[in-house]
Chain A
Amino acid sequence: MGRRLTTWRIHLMELIGTVLRLIWELAVYLFTVVPDLLPIILALATPLALGALCGVLNERSGIVNIGIEGIMLVAAFFGYLTGFAFHDAIGSGPSIALGILVAVLVGALLGLLHAWLTISVRADQIIAGTMMNIAAFGMTGYLNRLIITPSGLGGAGVIAPFHLPDAIANLPVVGPILVMFLEQGPIAMSVLFIVLGLQFALFRTRWGLRTRAVGEHPKAADTVGIDVYRQRYLNVILGCALAGLAGAYLTLESTGSFQNGMTNGRGFIALAAMIFGRWTPIGAFGGALLFGTATALGVVVSIRVPAGDLGTLMQSIPNEWYQALPYLITIVILAGVVGRSTPPAADGVPYVKEGKG
């Protein structure tokens, strides 16, 4: 009895030792790959962050929008289609710029549709969003099969990311961070500024105050003469324009091609990032970076295999698990964070002016 207990104890000590060593190796590994990881993280976080900002703008004004996924997809498609159609005529660069503009406009237009449905027609907000997602999937699949697939041609390509001079990029500490934010295409580069701008606008401007008011207590806003419907329309359209920009990022800055259903749940991860960030722009950006990191890890492990036992262990984990990691992390974080954050009080509740007309 006593002997068995001792061996058991030895095994346990060995196990703990191994685990501690692996954790140490993981830390060292992460520390060494972080400089390479940072730009990837921001790149992966960009569509999530823009989608999450769309969610923040919508929900701060009281409108739930689960159609972000679909809006991103449609905007991605039309952005791509614009580049596809015009790059022979006007060249790659201008056609991409035009594509981004079209994607943003498409986003805004779909925002107008969502606003009209949920605010004016008072359709159920969740169903309107679901409709948007199904329609987006169908519409882009339909047009893809009709126009792009049979042509056998490619798109306008992507914008080459900006490159810092090596002297700056190699600076200790600051270097990698500058690389993270600046060695990017124009959309990823602008995300940080959009986040900071919206954070200021939401909490320090008249528009922001009114937005928060109609999202918290629309009737109170109504009684002081604020046009609740107008404010909500404005926010939904603005937000969805950002979702359109996220779509443009996918086809015109990141991949340079369009595949059916290529948003792959990003619109919903964005919503989780929004909730994680407690409905603030900076918080939502933080959430997007977190999910970006989860995805980046899977990417980097296959490119730069860590040495030793850690490498063996991490490579023994099947690729599919790395791919599923962001989805699983989203669930875990949502479950852990949701109860502790308070959404806008009137979020998802349609506002009806009584006794009018």
Chain B
Amino acid sequence: MRRIWRVASIPLLAIVLAFIVAAVIIVISSIVTPTGFDLFLPLGAYGSLFAGAFGSGTGIVNTLVAAAPLILGGLAVGLGFKAGLFNIGVAGQFLVGAFAAAVAGANLAGAPTVLALPVAMVAGALGGAAFGFIPGFLKARTGAHEVVTTIMLNNAAVLLLTWAVNDLVRAPGFSFPRTGEIGNSALPVLLGRNLHLGIPLAVLTVFAVRWLLDRTTIGFEIRTVGQNPNAARYSGMRPIFITALTMTLSGMLAGIAGSIQMLGVIGFYAPGITGSVGFDSIAVALLGRSDPIGILFAAILFGAFRAGAPLMQIETSVPIEIIDIIQALVILFLAADLIVKRVFRVRADKPVISELATVARTWAGGSPPGGST
């Protein structure tokens, strides 16, 4: 119990502190709203947020549905962190995965689900993997840092997928460019209106990634490259290969996230479906300390924010973007854990992941991790 507290206290207190600071922002900004200054607005807003996320069966289902892609996206970012890589490209890999799943799904819409669904899922996974491989390969070969290349790929993905939907795979019979109906490729709904199969799949992936990292030699290689790329090379590992592999696996997880969102929720790809999974995943991975189980809990929390926020905006007019602000504040207090420790007078383990030092060190490092062989 005490051990759990040592690990979890800073993340939990960071969330508390983030909510307090966000409340101050809500109160101050209430001055410019038509209703005027309202000291109790945060209480109302947070109440609606909670009600929207957990207040009803539908709310809880919505929370879980929103959490599923965040679990996978969080795992994608977290796995990257383990190897000392910062995959900010989850947004792009998510889109490519969603697009690939939508196209494959639409083509197999009439095939039996046992065939259509796995093929569409694999297509999404491979799409994400391919899009993760590019920055991984570039980092491994040339040292081009993934922070810049993945952001560029995010922007490029949005544009090029728009082109692809417009010019290549536009389905006939719709008033706007989009892909066809996915029909039998859709993820079966297990419960309620939309609790789909992707949710247990995401939870299962948590344990698969955990097994990979903790129990296998590949996981050991990934972690060693993240902790000390030089020692990894010295031990006979190939950091270049591991870097490319980890980014590919990370992209694959993001691609699966896109697939389940596509096949379980959205149903078709149309330009403009961007969403917030990319940035949310970073916050989830950091809050979960890049540990798969931690990521699971963090994803459910952020899923709840996303599920509850619309009700909050409707009922209290507090803009939905307050969630992004809370997210940034959580990250702030995790990175600057000194503040949390001062405010709450606690002693705890450092919440930020030690591999992050490798991310910064290779930032401008020029040479690929572990030198050139």
Contacts and interface: CB of A to CB of B under 8 A. Distances in A.
Q: A and B touching (C-beta < 8 Å)?
A: yes
Interface of A: 59, 64, 66, 117, 121-128, 130-132, 134-135, 137-139, 141-143, 145-147, 264-265, 268-269, 271-272, 275, 318-321, 323-324, 327-328, 330-331, 334-336, 338-344, 347-349
B216 interface: no
Interface of B: 25, 29, 32-33, 86, 88, 138, 141-145, 147-149, 151-156, 159-160, 162-163, 166-167, 279, 282-283, 286, 319-325, 327-329, 331-332, 334-336, 338-339, 352, 356-357, 359-361, 363-368
B38 to A, nearest CB: 13
A138, A142, A321: most-surrounded residue (chain B CB, <10 A): A138
A177 B292 CA distance: 57
A213 to B, nearest CB: 17
30 contacts: A121-B336, A124-B335, A124-B352, A124-B357, A125-B360, A126-B147, A126-B356, A127-B356, A128-B332, A130-B86, A134-B279, A134-B283, A135-B332, A138-B328, A139-B328, A142-B29, A142-B321, A265-B152, A271-B148, A318-B167, A320-B159, A320-B163, A321-B160, A324-B156, A328-B152, A328-B156, A331-B138, A334-B149, A338-B144, A349-B361
A150 to B, nearest CB: 8
Given A126-B147, A141-B319, A146-B319, A64 B363 contact: yes
B325 A123 contact: no
Contacts of B152: 265, 268-269, 272, 327-328, 330-331
A169 B170 CA distance: 48
- Give 9 closest A-B pairs by Cβ, nearest first: A138-B324, A343-B364, A135-B328, A320-B163, A141-B321, A123-B335, A142-B321, A348-B360, A138-B325
A147 B166 CA distance: 35
Contacts, number: 179
Contacts of A323: 159
A126 B324 contact: no
B13 to A, nearest CB: 16
A137 B325 CA distance: 8
Contact of B328 (A121, A134, A327, A336): A134
Contacts of B156: 324, 327-328, 331
Per DSSP, chain B at the interface is helix
Contacts of B25: 142
Contacts of A321: 159-160, 163
Given A130-B282, A134-B283, A339 B142 contact: yes
Nearest to A330: B152
Contacts of B336: 117, 121, 123, 128
A347 B359 CA distance: 12
A121 B339 contact: yes
Contacts of A134: 279, 282-283, 324, 327-328, 331
A224 to B, nearest CB: 25
A335 B366 contact: no
Nearest to A336: B142
Contacts of B153: 327, 331
Contact of A145 (B86, B147, B162, B319): B319
